């Protein structure tokens, strides 16, 4: 069952969505960050999907009021604000993590995170704070950061899944990210999907009206399997120190 949780972050009231497995726990936990349009119904269902697999799942909100944005100008303005202010971006992500960790059924030693689109960018920024995450998965994220030197603080494993034909993440950005991960000695992977564009995990109607965005069922399934393999790996070993 999905439940809304209001909380404060970045000077705004956010409304996230939580779903829990049956039982008393403690459960492994996953923090989920939505795509750029906001916490829509499809993305809320991801929360339930994780709960059905045995995770305490919390989808944070980074726009406010738990409402998706429908106008492209409003979406771009909000994302620009978060991209330009690294500290704000990280504080909003940290507030979501704090909500998840405060759930009494959560095992704080078995926490992972996944973000989609800008949500993936945000989860990478959260990892750069040294947050106690065993793994971070970023699905079709932007890979640039104003503070790449902070990647030395990443404590868990990193998986990035990107479409090779994603016009929002050019090859130069991918190469810079690779260099950043190597320099910081992060345990990282990058999976590229040939012929795939941006936002390949979200089959929402009207996606085709935005240039460069396109759902891809094969990349969606493959990236999900890759994510779950990584989560299974880190939750089994629990080597975060």
Whether the pLDDT of residue 236 is over 80: the answer is yes
CB atoms within 10 A of CB 58: 28
Question: Checking DSSP bridges between strand 106-116 and strand 157-163, what pairing results, if any?
Answer: unpaired
- CB of 133 within 8 A of CB of 126? yes
% of the chain surpassing 90 pLDDT: 89
Q: Which domains does the chain have, with CATH numbers?
A: 3-237 (3.40.50.1820)
Residues 6+ apart with CB under 8 A from 224: 201
- List alpha helices for 8-61, DSSP H: 41-52
- List alpha helices for 53-164, DSSP H: 72-84, 86-102, 118-128
The pLDDT-based confidence of 211 (bands split at 50, 70, 90) is confident
- pLDDT of 238 reads 65
Distance CA 122, CA 115 (A): 7
- CB of 47 within 8 A of CB of 80? no
- CB of 44 within 8 A of CB of 17? yes
Whether the pLDDT of residue 70 is over 90: the answer is no
- pLDDT of 208 reads 52
pTM for the model stands at 0.95
pLDDT tens, residue by residue, 184-206: 999 999 999 999 999 999 987 55
% of the chain surpassing 70 pLDDT: 95
The pLDDT-based confidence of 119 (bands split at 50, 70, 90) is very high
H/E segment holding residue 231: helix 217-237
Lowest mean pLDDT segment, chosen from 22-31, 165-174, 205-214, 230-239: 205-214
Q: Strands (DSSP E) along 10-70, which ranges?
A: 12-19, 27-33, 56-60
Whether the pLDDT of residue 117 is over 70: the answer is yes
Distance CA 173, CA 159 (A): 16
Average of per-residue pLDDT values in the chain: 94
Inter-CA distances, 200 with 35, 86, 98, Å: 11, 26, 29
Q: Match 């130069």 to its residue by tokens.
A: 172
Distance CA 241, CA 233 (A): 16
């Amino acid at each position: 069952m999905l439940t809304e949780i209001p909380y404060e972050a970045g000077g705004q009231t956010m409304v996230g969505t939580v779903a829990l497995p049956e039982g008393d726990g403690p459960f492994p936990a996953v923090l989920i960050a939505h795509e750029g349009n906001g916490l829509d119904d499809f993305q809320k269902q991801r929360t339930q999907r994780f709960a059905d697999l045995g995770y305490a799942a919390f989808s944070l909100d980074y726009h406010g009021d738990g409402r998706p944005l429908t106008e492209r100008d409003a979406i771009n303005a909000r994302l620009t604000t978060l991209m330009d202010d690294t500290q704000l971006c990280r504080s909003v992500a940290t507030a979501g993590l704090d909500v998840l960790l405060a759930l009494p059924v959560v095992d704080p030693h078995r926490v992972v995170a996944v973000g989609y689109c800008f949500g993936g960018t945000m989860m990478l920024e959260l990892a750069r704070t040294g947050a106690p995450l065993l793994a971070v998965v970023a699905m079709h994220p932007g890979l640039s950061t104003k503070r790449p030197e902070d990647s030395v603080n990443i404590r868990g494993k990193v998986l990035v899944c990107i479409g090779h034909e994603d016009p929002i993440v050019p090859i130069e950005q991918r190469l810079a990210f690779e260099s950043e991960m190597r320099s910081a000695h992060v345990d990282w992977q990058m999976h590229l999907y040939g012929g795939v564009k941006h936002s390949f995990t979200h089959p929402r109607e009207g996606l085709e009206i935005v240039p460069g965005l396109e759902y891809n069922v094969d990349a969606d399934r493959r990236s999900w399997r890759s994510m779950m393999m990584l989560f299974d790996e880190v939750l089994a070993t629990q080597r975060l120190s």
